[in-house]
Structure formats: C-alpha cells, structure tokens
Amino acid sequence: MTLKYKIFSSLLVGPLYPHQRNCKQRERDTKASNFQFNSSVYSLMEPSISWKTLLTISLFLFFVTPQSSLAIKLPFHPQDLLPLLPRQVSWPILNRLHGAVDLLPTFVGAASALNETGDWKGACFYENRAWMEFHNKTGSEFGGGTLHLKVSNAHSWTCMDIYVFATPYRVTWDYYLLSREHTLEFKEWESKAEYEYVKNRGVSIFLMHAGMLGTLQALWDVFPLFTNTGWGENSNIGFLEKHMGATFEQRPQPWATNISVDDIHSGDFLVISKIRGRWGGFETLEKWVSGAYAGHSAVFLRDSEGKLWVGESGNENEQGEDVIAVLPWDEWWEFELNKDNSNPHIALLPLHPDVRAKFNETAAWEYALSMNGKPYGYHNLIFSWIDTLDGNYPPPLDAHLVASFMTVWNHIQPEYAANMWNEALNKRLGTQGLDLPDILVEVEKRGSSFGKLLTIPEQDDWLYTDGKSTSCIAFVLEMYKEAGLFDPITSSVQVTEFTIKDAYTLRFFENNSSRLPKWCNDGDDVKLPFCQIKGQYRMELPEYNTMDPYPHMNERCPSLPPKYFRTQNC
C-alpha cells in the first residue's frame, strides 16, 4: 500500500462512508438509447467534515505525490473533491488546473473498418481503442455503421470521459463512466460520399481532455471573454497574460491623447486592441493563434484640401453590417473616444520619412474609394493565420479540429460558413460551388489532406462573389501596394497572407524617436517607439519595425505561442 493511499485512508475514517445506490445513466448514441447501471460511490455522510479537511486531502494527493506512484485505484480523484470546497478556495485551484483553452477537444484518431484506433490516454480512462463496423440494419442504399469504443483503466470510480465524433456530414457527442465496450450507432449514412469517406478516413474522434469538471471550468472561462463587462475585460487580460505572456502595465492619465492633426500624414498606420465585448473576445482568440498584440487596424488619408480621413475595413454601418469605410477623422475619433464600448487601445505608427516619400497618395485614394462600402473580407480571414501543417495550431488545435468546427457551423449557419471559408476552399481546389462536405470528399479523392488545403496561400487578385476580399489588415496593406511601398517586389507579395503582427513588424515606420510628434506618449514616463493615443494599459508590439519586405513573405510561417518563433524568410 502506497503512502498516498495510507494517508488518504486515515483521513477518511469517520467522515466518509461508502454506500450503494441505484442510478440511471443515459448513454447517447446518434439517436440516444438508455440503460441502467449500479455504481458504488462515496458520498459525504456527516456534516462534521470541514472544507479544510477536504482541501488538505485534495492538495496533498494532487500536488505532493506524483501520479505514477498511485498503485491502488482511489474511489475518487482529488480533483473530484474541488466542487465541494468553498468557491473562494476551489476556483483558484480550478483556474490553475484548467482554462479557456481546455474547452477545445483534442483529436485522438479516426475509427474505420480498415484501421483500429487505439492507445490514447483519456482524462478518465487511461486505455482506449476504437473501431468501426459497417452494417445495413435499415436496408437503406448505403447502410450505416456502429462505432465501438472500448475504455478501461479509469483513474477513479467517479470520473468520466467526454468525446465528440465527427464526419464531414455530422457531429455528435457522448460521455462514458463505465469501464467496458461502448457503441455509437450511425443508423444510415447520409450519402454515398459520407459512406466512402468513413470507409477510407473513418469517423474522427475528439477527447475533451479536461474531463467534465475541466470542461465546465473552461466554459466558465470562455463565456466572459465576449461579455461587455469588467469581468469580461479582466478575463481577456488574464487569457492573454496566461497564453501569450502579454503584460498590461497601467499608463498614467490622461488615457486619451490631445492630438494635433497637422502631425499626421497619409499612410500613417493605426493598430487597435479591443479587450471587452464581442469584438474583444474575438480579438483575444485571434491574438492567441496569430501572435499579434493588436486585433484591428486602419490607415490615415489626407485629401487635396488637407482634410484628414481614416480608411477602415470592419466598420459597422447603420444596417449592422461590417463594411469598408472611409470616414472623417473627427467622426472616427469621436466614436472611439465616447461610443466604442470595447475599451479600445489605439496606437499611431507614423511612416518613416523615406517611406512616406514613396507613398503615392493619389493611387492610395483611388484604391480606397474603389473599395468603399464593400463587405469586410471574411473570405480569407483565417488563411492569413494558417501557413503550415502543424506550426500554427496552439495545442489542442489542429486541422482535424478546424474541419470539425467548420462542419458544425456548416449545419448551424450555412450562409455564414459559405462566406467564411467555402468559397476560399473552392478557389484552393480549383472548383466552384462545392459545400464543405463535398470539399472534404474531393480532397480525399485527390489523395491530399484538409490540412494541406488550408496552407495554400491566398492570392490578392482572387475575386469572390462579392468582389475582392480584404480583412482590416489586408485593406491597409493592399493600399500600401497600390501606393508603391512594396516596389519593386509588389507582384510577388500576397498581403492577404499577412497578419496584423506581420504588418507592424514591417520596416516601414519611424525609427527616430526625436522625429515623433511632441504630443506622442505625452505624460508617460515610458517612451514607446510609436505613439499610443488611447488606452488604460501600455501597448506592446514585439518585433516592431524590424523586417524588410521580401518575395512570398509570410506564406510559410509558423506561429506557435507563447514565443511565436518564425523561421527565416518564411
């Protein structure tokens, strides 16, 4: 008997007693089926046990003794005690063990009739294997199948594993408490294409690696990222600190700069970081996967009469649509100061005088006006992030999970899915009009993979059904291309492959702090190499203004947190 078990047993004498009870447990297949089981469980029998005792048990067993020394299976895992503790005690521990990233399932394999998937470790069951059995119980044209999942060697009697199962045509889920062989029924395949796909590629299996408790905690962590509250703002800050190593040092007031517009020129760059609300949550996830320390961008333009304007892709119009807009500076700045509830942090990045001298203001205006009013570039939004097979996905993300996420959205909001990725994937295949399931099947027919398809670089001249597609940063950099800033390699640079980080690391900006406007960072004892004009926290732009453009720039770059190391000339 191990030391861990002796201490555990002695601590439990008196307060905890085993007892038997019958309980019904619903196990779901694709259409849901029911069964009953008896389980020996431990419950709290006397109120005399204190949360301090539970805390002592939990902390000692989980943190002091290594898991490898557990020779005898405990009736429950130390983590199982955490919900019984007071919230002020349990939640800091849960936050240490789990976070928002734990909501993402992990791909563990694909079950087919040709290959058995096995030998992965679950959150609860440490030995698992799966296989597919085809049948035609319904007498349908393509028949159906039964997925077998055998689980064993649970780390405790009270744990469970949660799984997500996906094909290009459906996504379902199930959870398992008993150590035995379980089944998941697919009564009928939707088409010959689904049958062929499953026969060759199998049903993808994803594990919620944090288990039930961790998944619930992750949901609790993810939800506030998108809320327009102080809780949401703190959650976004905490996520970026934890997963990117970002810092949020408070600036001295005032947090908005009194700007002299005479010091701003056409082509000067604006980067914006939002940290609360819907866009704050979206930008937080975008920053995490791409390594950018800002989530939005815009650009200055001055007309022939000297009036200052801001060009922006992603401005919300009166109909609630995100479009490309060219707005008067005063109007744009008034909104950011008084109406934008995402707590935007904004920095001005002035062009270097030599770069400004190259900037063709007439060509820039022509481009901006030709795009004014067109839709935001959702079509290629994710493709600037994904350049490699495995170097852009923070664990547990991977191409399998991206495909499953797309499959879910394809069912929930097919029009949204078509706008976000279907057209772009068709262009990469050289096809037209295929929806996501057909795209996945076509990739399989060609002997390729969905992961490889995602890495094909976007082309700036691709025309979508609603015209050229430019995200916020692609709009700015396309303007830079038209204005001559990428000469003489303009034709060999695809700026739709650039992230916001890729943009602010370009060696286009002022590198002499003495030439920055006098009001730049006014009142701040830390002098940044750019001008932060709004925000409670000091903005940071790692590798700012360090990289000269080169052909095929940013088409094959890894971007894994927290270091976001990129290979040379990728």
| Residue-wise pLDDT tens digits, 54-66 | 444 444 434 433 4
Q: Cα separation of 383 and 386, whole Å?
A: 5
Q: Name the phi and psi angles at 68, rounded to 5.
A: -65, -15
| pLDDT, tens digit, 9 for 90 and up, residues 339-392 | 999 999 999 999 999 999 999 999 999 999 999 999 999 898 888 999 999 999
Beta-bridge partner residues of 506:
547
Q: Residue 146 is encoded by which pair of tokens?
A: 């039964």
Omega prior to 558 cis, within 30 of 0:
no
User: Does the pLDDT value for residue 90 go beyond 70?
Assistant: no
Q: Is 263 helix (H, G, I), strand (E, B) or coil?
A: helix
* Joined tokens for residue 412: 């929930």
Residue that the structure tokens 């469970």 belong to: 160
Q: What is the pLDDT of residue 276?
A: 92
What is the per-residue pLDDT for 549? Answer: 97
Q: What is the pLDDT of residue 494?
A: 97
User: Three-state secondary structure along 451-486?
Assistant: HHHHHCCCCCCCEECCEECCCHHHHHHHHHHHCCCC
Phi, psi of 434 (to 5 degrees): -75, 135
Amino acid found at 434: L
Q: What is the pLDDT of residue 400?
A: 82
b vs e for 263-293, b when ≥16 Cβ sit within 10 Å of the residue's Cβ?
ebbbbbbbbbbbbbbebbbbbbbbbbbbbbb
Lowest mean pLDDT among 88-97, 126-135, 201-210, 423-432: 88-97
State both tokens at 53.
């005792």
* Residue 414 CB neighbours (<10 A): 13
For the chain, the average pLDDT equals 81
Name the amino acid, one letter, at 214.
Answer: G
Q: Residue 166: count other Cβ atoms within 10 Å of its Cβ.
A: 23
Residue 256 vs residues 216, 519, 569: alpha-carbon distances, Å: 39, 11, 38
Residue 16 has a pLDDT of 32
Burial 198-217 (b: 16+ CB within 10 A, else e): beebbbbbbbbbbbbbbbbb
Report which of 494, 490, 482, 491 is spatially closest to residue 458, judged by C-alpha positions. 494
Instruction: For residues 299 and 474, give the distance between their C-alpha atoms in angstroms, rounded to a whole number.
Output: 11
Residue recorded with tokens 């993810």: 222
Q: Which residues have a Cβ under 8 Å from the Cβ of 408 and sit 6 or more positions away? A: 171
Q: Mean per-residue pLDDT for 278-289?
A: 91
> In the structure encoding, which two tokens stand for residue 35, read together?
């069964």
Of the candidate ranges 255-259, 345-349, 353-357, 405-409, the one whose mean pLDDT is the lowest: 405-409
pLDDT score for 552: 96
Res 128: pLDDT:
93
Q: Is the pLDDT of residue 69 over 50?
A: no
Instruction: State the pLDDT at residue 560.
Output: 93
Is residue 496 within 8 A of residue 384, CB to CB? The reply is: yes
Least confident of 212-221, 277-286, 395-404, 558-567: 212-221
Q: Which residues contact 216 (CB under 8 A, 6 or more apart)?
A: none
Q: How far apart are CA 305 and CA 238, in angstroms?
A: 46
Regarding predicted confidence, which is higher, 52 or 120? 120
CA 298/CA 313 separation, integer angstroms: 7
Burial 327-355 (b: 16+ CB within 10 A, else e): bebeebbeebeeebebbbbbbbbbbbeeb
pLDDT above 90: percentage of residues in the chain: 52
Distance CA 469, CA 482 (A): 16
* pLDDT tens column, 264-278: 999 999 999 999 988
Q: Are strands 144-154 and 125-135 parallel, antiparallel or unpaired?
A: antiparallel
pLDDT tens readout for residues 229-243: 898 899 999 999 988
Tens of pLDDT, residue by residue over 457-500, are 999 999 999 899 999 999 999 999 999 999 999 999 999 999 99
Question: Which residues are CB-contacts of 201 (< 8 A; sequence separation ≥ 6)?
Answer: 110, 112, 444
Using the CB atoms, write b or e for 380-403: b if 16+ within 10 Å. bbbbbbbbbeebbbbebbbbbbbb
- Work out the angle at residue 115's Cα, subtended by the Cα atoms of residues 109 and 117, and round it to the nearest 5 degrees: 35
- Count helices and strands (H / E) in the chain: 17, 18
Residue 287's nearest CA partner among 394, 390, 416, 215 is 394
Residue with tokens 């060999």: 492
Radius of gyration over every alpha carbon of the chain, rounded to an integer in angstroms: 27
Q: What token pair was written down for 214?
A: 């961790």
Q: What is the rounded CA–CA span in Å between residue 258 and residue 429?
A: 51
- Is residue 30 predicted with pLDDT exceeding 90? no
Instruction: Give the pLDDT confidence of 526-558 residue by residue, as tens digits.
Output: 889 999 999 999 999 999 999 999 999 999 999
Sign, Cα dihedral of 198, 411, 404, 219 = negative
pLDDT of residue 94: 46
- ∠ CA 245-247-253 to the nearest 5 degrees? 170
What is 486-504 written as a DSSP string?
TTTSGGG--GGG--HHHHH
Q: Which residue is listed with tokens 């002592």? A: 56
- Residues 492-515 pLDDT 10s: 999 999 999 999 999 999 999 999
**Residue with tokens 């979206």, as numbered in its chain:** 282
Instruction: Specify the amino acid at residue 443.
Output: V
pLDDT tens-digit profile of 288-344?
999 999 999 999 999 999 999 999 999 988 888 899 999 999 999 999 999 999 999
